[in-house]
Amino acid sequence: MITKSQIDSFIEKIPPSPKILKETLSLLDQGDLVKAAKVGKEDSALNAYLKELINKPIYGFRNEVNDISQIFGILGVSKSQEATYNYMISLLSPAKWKLFKLNKSSFYDLQAQFSANWQKITSHLNINDKDLQSAVSLLPASIIVSEALFCEKIDDVKLLRSVDEIDLNTILQRLCGMDLFDICQRIALKWEMSDSIAKILQAASGVKPSQDETINKLGKWMHLLLFYTLSQPAFIQAELNDFIDFQVDYVNDIYDDFSNLMEIS
């Protein structure tokens, strides 16, 4: 059994908070894109990450975008804040993944797909909330933590996967007493996000619905997004699609709406 203190020791590293990143996030929180870009330019690794992220095919830009001021201008405040959180998370990505068949490039692809499609969803729902936009970055963050936790008990994980046809989230629960969405919630608390974000993440599990209709609706959209993203061929190959059990009855009322939205280029 992996203890909660071990889990917290991994989460404690999220996110790294160098001075430049703290100041960049603070300025983004204040809505000052110009000053945030000026400060962010001082971090060459942040610039390189944002350039690689924004030029992923899913964002659909015909011409390469290079300058951080231009990137922040294109993304706007909430999406720039989320992209900066994604960068901070990427710093924790393992040099060599042991359980999931991922690497630096494919993990960036995972972040980009979550981000771009969550932007579609929040725009479709007419939601403009910085914390809610950044909340989707918790999903790849929790996958990094899960990889680290699974690697602590890699033989047990492989044995359970060979014997039982159970999803990795259930295995995580058996080994740690916490599932992917509990880990998301703990990271949200570390980032001092609102309590509603934690509730949405729990509702996104599909098995822990909220009594609040608005929170539950957002949880359904996030559950579909998680399943949709992890079901892409590249992430099936990475064995991420084994992570959650799709709760079709839970999302049945918005399934067609979600499917139509994802078909829009």
- Mean per-residue pLDDT, 36-58: 88
CA distance 145 to 142: 5
Burial 144-174 (b: 16+ CB within 10 A, else e): bbbbbbbeebeeebeebbeeeeebbbebbeb
pLDDT at residue number 13: 66
Q: What pLDDT shows up at residue 10?
A: 73
In the chain, where the domains are located: 1-14+96-265, 17-91
Whether the CB-CB separation of 46 and 39 falls below 8 Å is answered with no
pTM: 0.82
Residue 168 CA to residue 178 CA, distance in Å, equals: 12
Average pLDDT score, the chain: 87
Chain segment 154-207, per-residue pLDDT in tens: 888 888 888 767 888 888 888 888 899 998 888 888 777 888 888 999 999 999
Burial zone of 30 (CB within 10 Å; 0-12 exposed, 13-18 middle, 19+ buried): exposed
Give the pLDDT confidence of 76-126 residue by residue, as tens digits. 888 888 888 888 888 778 889 988 999 988 998 998 899 889 989 999 999
With 80 as the cut, is the pLDDT of residue 15 above it?
Answer: no
The answer to whether residue 16 scores a pLDDT higher than 70 is no
Confidence of residue 1 (pLDDT cuts 50, 70, 90): low
Q: Which of 52, 82, 50 lies closest to 68 in space, CA to CA?
A: 50
